[in-house]
Amino acid sequence: MAELPVTEEELIAKYGPHLNEAPPGGWNAGLEIDREVKTHCCFCGQQCGIKLKVKDEQVVGFEPWYEFPFNQGKLCPKGVKRYLQGAHPDRLLDPLERDPSSEGGFRPTTWDAALDRTVSEIKRIQGTYGKDAFAVLSGVSITNEKSYLMGKFARLGLQTANLDYNGRLCMVSAGAANKRALGMDRAPNPWSDIPLADVVFVAGSNVAECSPITTSYIWRARDRGAKLIVADPRVTPLARTADVFLGLKPGTDSALMGTILHILIVNDWLDHDFIANHTVDFEQAAEAVKNYTPEWGSQVCGVPKDRIIEAARLWGTSATGMLLHARGIEHHSKGVENVLSCINLGLATGKYGKPGSGVSTITGQGNGQGGREQGHKCDQLPGNRDISNPEHRAYIASVWGCDESEIPHKGLSAQEIVNAIHDGEIKGLLSICFNPLVSLPDTKHTAEALAKLEFYVPIDFFLSESAQYADVVLAGTLQEEDEGTTTSVEGRCIKINQAVRPPGNARKDWEIILDIARRMGRGRYFEFEDTEDIFNEMKVASHGGTADYFGMTWDRIEDEFGIFWPCPEEGHPGTPRLYEGGQFAHPDGKARFVGVPYREAAEVVDDEYPIWLTTGRVVSQYLSGTQTRRIGPLVEQYPEPLCEMHPRLAEQLGVTSGDIVEVSSRRGSMSLPARVVESIRPDTVFIPYHWAGTKAANQLTNRALDPVSKIPEYKVSAVRVAKGEGHTKIYDRRVTTLQEKGQSS
Ligand SMILES: Nc1nc2c(c(=O)[nH]1)N[C@H]1C(S)=C(S)[C@@H](COP(=O)(O)OP(=O)(O)OC[C@H]3O[C@@H](n4cnc5c(=O)[nH]c(N)nc54)[C@H](O)[C@@H]3O)O[C@H]1N2
Ligand SMILES: Nc1nc2c(c(=O)[nH]1)N[C@H]1C(S)=C(S)[C@@H](COP(=O)(O)OP(=O)(O)OC[C@H]3O[C@@H](n4cnc5c(=O)[nH]c(N)nc54)[C@H](O)[C@@H]3O)O[C@H]1N2
Ligand code: SF4
Ligand SMILES: [Mo]
């Protein structure tokens, strides 16, 4: 086998001198293009700046956009390949209607026929079973404008209370905890604060694969000498470089954070002035952890006690520090408690409202931040307002020009909507940007629910696995086919620019929604000429709420590389860092400690199901995979799910890498190749969830919800693992490279 180039000289000899530096004229020099459009990546919440190259109304390539401050030209594997999806032959070019006699079960139809059918079914179902029997599921890969529109459309267009969004599977535990403790729901810091931290604590986040650009911020902190703590059942790529690695048992984060708080208190590593002047209820938090000794924490979490003490010492004795968390601590039936237990650590040591300090959630989907503010959650109105608060309702009614009583009250959350469909209470569904069959827990249950719908209409640009259950499919738009704004992980509102026209007869998502509203006879509430019109109403609706965009304009957003909310009046510079001077967003200006006693996951291992299963992501695939499973180079990088397991477990099962294993839970079972790695706890297996059908990890997961945030417990299930039939060669870049090296040396 050929030897791989390793040294700089070998690399240059093989590939030439311009390894990291674009050749004169850029990477695509020689490719004639019509224009280059500055915009942002369509995938994760980092929302990297990128320049798309356009030729004949096709995105044909990209160029790094070095000036955009957040990523300064850096992109991850998904960002650089995203341009390959638009031209995919599966792209929907017409609306479809179900036709069992056609190949694939659908035939193209006209917009008039598709929308007439949609509206008559909505009217029939609502007329027969009541308004709330028709539900709406929205998503946050869509812009702020579309998120806002979906909220208004469900409430005033369809007059249903049952509207929720896929952030319910993602950001809601952090959102609920942030609001409860701090009064506002946003990362407290711009990412430029990370390099200023003396200690970086990453809890339940696979930063290198899921928020890749954040890695470079952490490296910059490391260059200044910052210490790194990582808490994860797996030694993630970032964790390999940690000073303290806490390889905890899935579902034990609040015990770990509680133990750390206990150690901070015992050693008096506290900021007493901060606690006294800027917080309330410290005693409650202290009382809850009074018995959480290092010995107890070590036993519950399965982590050596000295490491927990060392993590507490680093966190407690550093002047500045940032704790970054993601779904690893949030996807739990106690996700809100886990986040609160992290916030307690920040408050106890005064790590808020100053450079290099804060406890931040790393947002997930492209518009994971903005999408959770604009009012398409079941309990929310725009500006992150509360749908049950009479003043908030009255203000939004005044913006919408309706009577307050016309705004429905709180409806069901995403999983509860699907449960209600399963129970026969909800009969119709419109979805946009949501693929529940792949992404919700307990696939069998979701499939049964979708099959029971009397009418289902998704808006998508590909026929997702959920859309296979549809009666009508409306051909919507890829991110690059429309314009609008999103709000990134930092709370920075940025401008998405249109690069190409929607192809064929596909239409812009918001135009489809407006058309349905008009046909429902509710057009008077939806008189928008273009997306900027929607933005201008949205920012008025947000005014006075915590997520206030009132002072922003599209021009300013572009000129200033984005604006951080709150930006409450014209000319306001925006607010990169929240809570400066210890001023929190509750009316009394003080943050709340919350007592967090530890409790177990909804399902724990036993003799029948003795192994923990946790699920998540790989770098080259994105969410339910509708998009990235259609991008060849990304598929090649990680073509199918693998079951990661430790060599000790593999030995017990008599399994080596590539052997098929059967993984079963109380919900279902699946067969997939094993991948034997030392980077996981021996009592835990990990399966990425980006695939559908028999390859869907969610066949195994549990529908248990957090009682407050209603997020499903994706990160903890109990399973049984057994050796199955057969062996397959697995593509594992790291293993192959080592083998190649072994053979060549
Ligand atoms: N490549 C890629 N990037 C993405 C996405 C994608 O699909 N692919 N999706 C985007 C979205 S929407 C999201 S939400 C984010 C998610 O970003 P992350 O939350 O970083 O990703 P996950 O893989 O879901 O889980 C993170 C880590 O949690 C660990 N974990 C599992 N159980 C536990 C536990 O009980 N406690 C702790 N402390 N850790 C645990 C897992 O081992 C994993 O390393 O990524 C965004 N970026
Ligand atoms: N087991 C397990 N399950 C999980 C998770 C996990 O860690 N483990 N993670 C959860 C998390 S954090 C998330 S965020 C969810 C995501 O779950 P989903 O929201 O279901 O996943 P997506 O793949 O984003 O589905 C979006 C659909 O919208 C379409 N789409 C994308 N952009 C647009 C747009 O601009 N317009 C229109 N019209 N359509 C669009 C895509 O083609 C796709 O079909 O999955 C959750 N499910
Ligand atoms: S880090 Fe996220 S936003 Fe940036 S290129 Fe990768 S997927 Fe896109
Ligand atoms: Mo997510």
Q: Which domains does the chain have, with CATH numbers?
A: 8-85 (3.30.200.210), 96-170+369-577 (3.40.50.740), 185-361 (3.40.228.10), 611-740 (2.40.40.20)
Q: What is the pLDDT of residue 32?
A: 85
Q: Tell me the pLDDT tens digit for each residue of 439-498.
A: 999 999 999 999 999 999 999 999 999 999 999 999 999 999 999 999 999 999 999 999
400 Cα: distance to centroid of ligand 4 (angstroms): 30
Coil, strand or helix: which one is 563? strand
81 Cα: distance to centroid of ligand 3 (angstroms): 10
CB 672 within 8 A of CB 687: yes
Q: Kindly report which listed range (41-45, 623-627, 729-733) carries the lowest average pLDDT score.
A: 729-733
Q: Which of 43, 617, 620 for a ligand 3 pocket mutation test, highest count of atoms within 8 Å of Cβ?
A: 43
What sign has the CA pseudo-torsion 541, 547, 553, 558? Answer: negative
Q: How many residues does the chain have?
A: 745
Kindly state the average pLDDT of the residues 65-88.
94
Kindly state the average pLDDT of the residues 395-415.
98
Q: What is the pLDDT of residue 67?
A: 95
State the closest ligand 1 atom to the C-alpha of 78, by its place in the atom list counted from 1. Answer: 1
329 Cα: distance to centroid of ligand 1 (angstroms): 9
Q: Kindly report which listed range (80-84, 431-435, 703-707) carries the lowest average pLDDT score.
A: 80-84
Q: Tell me the pLDDT tens digit for each residue of 594-603.
A: 999 999 999 9
**What pTM did the predictor assign?**
0.95
Q: Is residue 734's pLDDT more than 80?
A: no
Q: What is the pLDDT of residue 266?
A: 98
Q: Is the CB of 41 under 6 A from ligand 3?
A: yes
Q: Tell me the pLDDT tens digit for each residue of 659-695.
A: 999 999 999 999 999 999 999 999 999 999 999 999 9
Q: What is the pLDDT of residue 732?
A: 58
The pLDDT-based confidence of 729 (bands split at 50, 70, 90) is confident
The region, left, alpha or beta by phi > 0 then psi within -120 to 50, assigned to residue 710 is left
> For residues 692 and 703, what is the distance between their CA atoms, to the nearest angstrom?
17
Q: What is the pLDDT of residue 28?
A: 60
> For residues 535 and 657, what is the distance between their CA atoms, to the nearest angstrom?
51
Q: Which of 684, 686, 662, 683 is nearest to 673 (CA)?
A: 662
User: Residue of the nearest CA to atom 3 in ligand 3?
Assistant: 47
Looking at all shown ligands, the one closest to residue 687's CA atom is 2
Q: What is the pLDDT of residue 741?
A: 40
Q: What is the pLDDT of residue 618?
A: 96
248 Cα: distance to centroid of ligand 1 (angstroms): 15
List, chain by chain if needed, residues with CB within 6 Å of any ligand 2 atom. 139, 141-142, 166, 169-170, 327, 331, 364-365, 432-436, 439, 459-462, 464, 476-477, 479, 509, 615-616, 623-624, 626-627, 689, 697-698, 701, 714
Q: Is the CB of 48 under 6 A from ligand 3?
A: yes
361 Cα: distance to centroid of ligand 3 (angstroms): 17
State the closest ligand 3 atom to the C-alpha of 75, by its place in the atom list counted from 1. Answer: 5
List, chain by chain if needed, residues with CB within 6 Å of any ligand 1 atom. 44, 170, 203-206, 209-211, 231-234, 236, 248, 250-251, 253, 326-329, 364-365, 614, 616-617, 619, 621-623, 686, 715
Q: What is the pLDDT of residue 742?
A: 42
Q: What is the pLDDT of residue 745?
A: 31
Q: What is the pLDDT of residue 29?
A: 62
673 CB-near residues (< 8 Å, 6+ apart): 640, 642, 643, 657, 658, 659, 660, 661, 727, 728, 730
Alpha-carbon distances, residue 652 vs 341, 537, 675, 722 (angstroms): 36, 61, 14, 10
Mean pLDDT of the chain, nearest integer = 94
The pLDDT-based confidence of 649 (bands split at 50, 70, 90) is very high
Looking at all shown ligands, the one closest to residue 141's CA atom is 2
